[in-house]
């Protein structure tokens, strides 16, 4: 059994998951079992057994004062629950200032970019930023796209005031980094919401 986050807005007539194909880190490493099964063998229309949806990482508009900005930080495929949270926040609190950051390796492995670009076009209250840890191959990164890690300088430049409420999800090193950066900025624990994510061995190694 594996966990997959619901990646679309709640309240639809469907549940959507979005699955990254886990290749092994080298040619000798076995590929991820379930992610490759879903990509390679499970056809549209197939019926599979699933457990009921569960978890506590979702946008709760009742808990939130919409006058405070919302910061959404996603690392790699950790973007899946953050996409759901973003869509829900845009729907429930359409005036709220939102800063969305997606950190990933490069443009070639980035999911949801066209969706995010379209949402940023149609929602003046939403700022979308892309941060790529691999230096650019060919195309120059300009505008809302830049190279490097999400570090203190990046957060100082782009994040709104201390009152912002932050959600974050991604691989374990991303989580450790973001948590520590936000704490250093003086953000109180109760303004942070996060979920550990990714292959289990990443957590175990840490």
Ligand X SMILES: Cc1cc2nc3c(=O)[nH]c(=O)nc-3n(C[C@H](O)[C@H](O)[C@H](O)COP(=O)(O)OP(=O)(O)OC[C@H]3O[C@@H](n4cnc5c(N)ncnc54)[C@H](O)[C@@H]3O)c2cc1C
Site residues (vs ligand X, CB under 6 A): 2-5, 17-20, 22, 24, 29-36, 77, 80, 195, 197-199, 201
Of 59 and 97, CB closest to ligand X = 59
Give helix then strand counts, H and E, for the chain: 6, 6
Of 2 and 193, CB closest to ligand X = 2
The continuous run of DSSP H or E covering 132 comes out as strand 126-132
Give DSSP secondary structure letters for 139-185: SPP-TTEEES---HHHHHHH---TT-EEEEEESHHHHHHHHHHHHHT
The token pair that represents 55 in the structure block: 């978890």
Cβ 164 to ligand X shortest distance, Å = 24
Cβ 9 to ligand X shortest distance, Å = 15
Cβ 113 to ligand X shortest distance, Å = 16
Of 86 and 159, CB closest to ligand X = 86
Of 35 and 110, CB closest to ligand X = 35
End-to-end alpha-carbon separation of the chain, Å? Answer: 22
């Amino acid at each position: 059994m594996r966990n997959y986050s619901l990646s679309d807005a709640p309240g639809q007539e469907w549940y959507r998951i979005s699955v990254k194909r886990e290749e092994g880190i080298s040619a000798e490493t076995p590929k991820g079992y379930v992610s490759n099964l879903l990509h390679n063998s499970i056809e549209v229309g197939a019926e599979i057994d699933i457990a009921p949806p569960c978890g506590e990482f979702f946008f709760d508009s009742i808990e939130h004062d919409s006058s405070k900005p919302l910061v959404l930080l996603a690392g790699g495929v950790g973007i899946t629950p953050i996409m759901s949270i973003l869509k829900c926040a845009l729907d429930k609190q359409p005036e709220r200032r939102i800063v969305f950051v997606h950190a990933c390796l490069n443009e070639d492995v980035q999911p949801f970019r066209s969706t995010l670009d379209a949402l940023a076009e149609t929602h003046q209250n939403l700022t979308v930023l892309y941060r790529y840890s691999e230096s650019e191959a060919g195309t120059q990164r300009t505008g809302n796209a830049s190279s490097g890690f999400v570090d203190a300088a990046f957060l100082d430049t782009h994040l709104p005031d201390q009152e912002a409420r932050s959600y974050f999800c991604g691989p374990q090193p991303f989580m450790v980094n973001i948590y520590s950066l936000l704490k250093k900025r003086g953000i109180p624990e109760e303004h942070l919401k996060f979920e550990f994510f990714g292959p289990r061995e990443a957590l175990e190694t840490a």
